[in-house]
Structure 1
Amino acid sequence: MKWSQNKRSALFAIPASWMQTLFIAAALLPTSALAMEMTSSSFENGGIIPLRHALNSLGCEGQNISPALQWRDAPPETKSFAVTMFDPDAPTDSGWWHWILVNIPADVTSLPERSQPREALSTNTDFGISGYRGPCPPVGAQPHRYVVTVYALNVSTLPLAVTSSGAMASYMINSHVLAKASIAGYFGR
């Protein structure tokens, strides 16, 4: 089938007008339509996590300092945040929870190293205790990936306790998530 010049022009004019409409619509969207973003001044996304953030027990020689985190572009209806650190490469069937921090007030958009807002709650990690517990993969294993995620939630507080498990905290977080952003760092020994 041979196309005439007019049919070709009409065919290519339609997508151009669609693109123009999409650009105009995108420009009119509120900033909340932007994807939530997270960064860390402690390590680069995809980079090596410094030793100071590693566990300081079980043969690991870190300082167990939680990383500095910053996030932006949370939805305006956000009522609180949660932050987790998870090792999907742990030699278990379910990964390993290193940090679960919930009930972070909605006006908080960063955590300096070693910090936890007074209102926030740290639940149990897979070490059996609450609070930040840094990377400590098995000796000789490939460096593990540690995924740090911030979640914007539609509730001010989650009904969790210091003794709540990582699985329970993850379930509650994901039941109330509006948006999330993650970064990952690697650590090996």
Structure 2
Amino acid sequence: MTTSRPRPPVPYDFLPPVPSFPVSSTDIADGQVLPQAHVEDDDGSVSPQLSWSGAPAGTRSYAVTCFDPDAPTGSGFWHWVLFDIPADVTELPTGAGSGDFLGLPVGAKHGRNDYDEQGFGGAAPPPGHGPHRYIFAVHALDVPTLGPDAGAPPAYVGFNMYGHTLGRGLLIATYENKG
């Protein structure tokens, strides 16, 4: 008898509800498969373009995260943690979170991802583990700077966002390593 494993919930389901706002991308589509450029390989990977609008009044900065709740770790896998994005920024170009960080807004800081790197790390689920969800979230915050230093771990950045999040927009893509 084969038993399918239940899908882990989205981590934001456990936080106080906040208004949502639209997040879009020219590189990835909500509910669709991540293109190969955003998958980890020997050449690394490229962070996707993201744009957003309609953040709540009082937004003073943003944070962007990418999380895989389906990773076989018991705690998911953080692929990207970026914070202290100025409130007048509503778009990150392709590659702003990877390589030479071209287009990264002045003042923005990368936390450490679960690859133990600062920047975006692409999808890399274990072969045969099934499809994984990659939750790209834009968090509207009521403070101009969050507090942690660059390189802070994801849980610490998330802890500092708690109580400062005014709204959140999600874009969820999938990827499966059929290897």
Q: TM-score normalised by the shorter chain: which range applies?
A: 0.7 to 0.9
Aligned with 1:177 (options 165, 168, 171): 165
SS in 1 for 2:85: strand
Give aligned pairs, total.
152
When normalised by structure 1's length, the TM-score is 0.77
SS in 2 for 1:168: helix
Structure 1 runs not aligned, ≥5 long: 1-33
Verify: 1:168 aligned to 2:156, yes or no: yes
Deviation at 1:118, TM superposition (A): 2.3
What's the C-alpha RMSD, in Å, of the aligned pairs? Answer: 1.3
Aligned with 2:61 (options 58, 76, 80): 80
Aligned with 2:134 (options 131, 135, 146): 146
Structure 2 runs not aligned, ≥5 long: 1-18, 97-103
The structure whose Rg is larger is 1
Map of 1:39 onto structure 2: 24
Residue identity over aligned pairs, in percent, reads 38
Write out the 4+ residue segments of structure 1 that deviate beyond 3 Å after TM superposition: none
* Separation in structure 1 between the aligned mates of residue 20 and residue 84 of structure 2, nearest angstrom: 21
- Larger RCO: 1 or 2 (CA < 8 Å, sep 6+): 2
Asked if 1 retains the 8 angstrom alpha-carbon contact of 2:44 and 2:121, the reply is: no
SS in 2 for 1:170: helix
SS in 2 for 1:175: coil
Deviation at 1:127, TM superposition (A): 1.1
SS in 2 for 1:64: coil
Aligned with 1:49 (options 19, 28, 34): 34
Verify: 1:135 aligned to 2:123, yes or no: yes
Asked if 2 retains the 8 angstrom alpha-carbon contact of 1:51 and 1:63, the reply is: no
When normalised by structure 2's length, the TM-score is 0.81
* Separation in structure 2 between the aligned mates of residue 165 and residue 91 of structure 1, nearest angstrom: 19
